[in-house]
Structure 1
């Protein structure tokens, strides 16, 4: 005879947390594949293997999922680059993040296209202003690193930063082009190796793995 015992409070909490995590993983995959506008909660629930109503229960709807993913992304961003990394080290770290978490990279690309709306217009304005400030600071940091010899002399540091961003995201934003140009799976280990090596050679004077 099957046990009729109810789950303990701890068991229910674990189940709820597991459901939330499955929904978030499904949401980042769905948003990454279709963007926020194209994503459907029914498809997110199907990916997660749960009832669609649980999205409203745990997050209040699709916007709530998006807001939580934004918070998660900020935490992830803070851990991508190792402390004290050189400009070349930062390139490798961000490139590895794209290959290790392609769904998140696609999600970032959709955000850059303005597809992920904020529920509050004032919050959206403040976030956009913060992002501009971060970008200006990143360009200033690239200039400082060039003065320290980390960015190839004669290369505009702002261009170096833009090229690093663009090529780092290329395997998820332009997968067919990457495959045609390099002749292989855009997210394969070989493509990762090529991009890691060539980006560092292009933008810095640091010795690459193949040069050693």
Structure 2
């Protein structure tokens, strides 16, 4: 096969994935037809079977593609943050509270920048559907990006709370923290209405990233209340 045909095939596959993010997000798996998917990509219906085996195969590949997109965005954190945390988790290089807070800030700010930006907009409906009615595609999203990222955050939040990272309390605090930045995409209309913004511009993004610092700064052990009845 010639290089040109391979490149053309790659382009067709990519167009199908882009169309699938939109179609599956808007109407869901059951309502989406192969005609809708192929027409959205400007391809013939047989291309779905050729590249993905079936509509279900395309659906799973779409979830994996979204996970890849998120991983691409957080890639700069891998050598600077994730590798450092993994070393700490292995016990070879423990983290101080100050360093844990700094690393967690980097993660939350990076996530905030992604989900407040228009880049994440095409993914939102697909992700929301999988959160409310999980299918096999949820495992692609969770195992591919959400789970590993949460494990890193569990460790850092555990250090800040001086608790076992595997404890229920630490996991609750972690998902609450992550949810506080996911809201800028998953509840975008409510956010814009509440803040009287037409869109999240550079100034708004700077405010959101500053908020991420505040949120991480607020994570600390809770002192017991003495003398209450």
Q: Same fold judged by TM-score > 0.5?
A: yes
Structure 2 residue 72 is matched with structure 1 residue 59: no
2:104, 2:153 within 8 Å by CA — same for their partners in 1? no
Q: How far is the alpha carbon of 1:18 from its aligned partner? A: 0.6
- Equivalent residue number for residue 88 of structure 1: 105
TM-score w.r.t. the length of structure 2 is: 0.64
- Equivalent residue number for residue 114 of structure 1: 133
TM-score w.r.t. the length of structure 1 is: 0.69
Segments of 5+ residues of structure 2 without an aligned counterpart are 82-102, 163-168, 219-229
Segments of 5+ residues of structure 1 without an aligned counterpart are 1-7, 149-155, 206-212
From 140, 144, 148, the equivalent of 2:154 is 140
- Equivalent residue number for residue 15 of structure 1: 8
Structure 2 residue 111 is matched with structure 1 residue 97: no
From 191, 201, 204, the equivalent of 2:214 is 201
Structure 2 residue 63 is matched with structure 1 residue 70: yes
Q: CA RMSD, aligned part only?
A: 3.6
**Residues 113 and 189 of structure 1: CA distance in aligned 2, closer, same or farther (over 3 Å):** farther
Deviates more, 1:90-99 or 1:183-192: 183-192
Task: Give CA-to-partner distance per residue, 1:15-44, whole Å, 9 cap, x none.
Answer: 111100011111112223333344333332
Aligned residues: 187
Structure with higher RCO (Cα < 8 A, 6+ apart): 2
**Residues 193 and 180 of structure 1: CA distance in aligned 2, closer, same or farther (over 3 Å):** same
What is the correspondence of 1:152-191 to structure 2 with a 5 Å cutoff? 157-191=170-204
